[in-house]
Amino acid sequence: MKLSSLVATLSLACGLASFAQASPPLPSMGASPDGTSVSGLSSGAFMAVQYQVAYSASVTGAGIVAGGPYYCAAGLLTNVAICMGMIPLFPPNPNLMLMAAKDFASDGRIDPLSNLQNDRVYVFSGTKDTVVYQAAVNATVAFFKAAGVPDANLVYVKTVPSGHALLTPAFGNSCGANAAPYISHCTVAKKSYDQPGAIFTQIYGPLNPPFKTRTGQLLTFNQREFADASTSMADDAYVYVPASCAKGASCKVHVAFHGCNQSAAMVKDDFYGKSSYNDWADSNNIIMLYPQVNASQALNNPQGCWDWYGYTGANYAFKSGPQLKAIHAMIERLTSPSSGSVATAH
């Protein structure tokens, strides 16, 4: 065989191997565009706030676990410690964030803030959290109230002696831990505290109890079609599709943003598979979207955090921000008419 033919053959083989290894695309599911909601822990909570504010016209509510207010860092890494409540007597100033958000809305870079007046919001800060302190989370609550979220639509849970973690009833560290995988279990009023359930109840109202045995599919999909590697977003992400949604039931979409050091590359399926999100989603017709961000030294993102301080560019907190835009495109895919097929199960 000639060298040129051998090279061509090897190139084709490598290309076919690469193609074979690529995850399938995110399926279109025909989900309802109404009722879309978001939640997250830590950097994921900051990201959930960013998405809720930037795309407020299409978001009905949010769950914020240990996260600060919108545009808190103002694109400056030097502001991160303030935004995490780490500077004594110098908490984030929610009024400055609100002023910035009003300017962005007037320029059309984010949706009108008036949309937030109908949102339902759950906010949480553990009393033993030594990563994002309550001073930062207090500012988040103040921001939402100043932006027009009525007191009746906002719940702030701040007396549970938990560390920096998502709280789930049957998995994770002891309550006060501030350690990987940043998922813990706590007892409140003699019951295991189920944070995903509390978030969904605040956003959607009374729910069916979670299924004890899951009936849906946890799917891996190709995230690269929505965001290139320069965004720090991973090649693959995950979506949980309840059986009812796969069969054509009217379903909502909820996006759960993992925290720093909590992507699948770092904790495998602990966040997207072992928390109780999918149990509640299964019994209440909610499609769960789990986008993923990986660590990137080149982007000054060594812990795999969502961009709430500007490492992807000055527009990171706007609708045009690369990560926000990617999430929006994923939601649009899930709410577009069903293709009649789903991806391969994870």
Which residues are the active-site residues?
A: 42, 129, 164
CA–CA gap between residue 303 and residue 299 (Å, rounded): 11
Position of tokens 């994923």? 330
Nearest alpha carbon to residue 139 among 117, 114, 158: 158
Burial class (CB in 10 A: 0-12, 13-18, 19+), 220: buried
Question: Which residues are within 8 A (CB) of 69 and not within 5 positions of it... i.e. 6 or more apart?
Answer: 49, 83, 92, 94, 97, 139, 140, 142, 143
Nearest alpha carbon to residue 136 among 164, 109, 160, 103: 164
Beta bridge partners of residue 36, listed in sequence order: none
What type of residue sits at position 211?
F
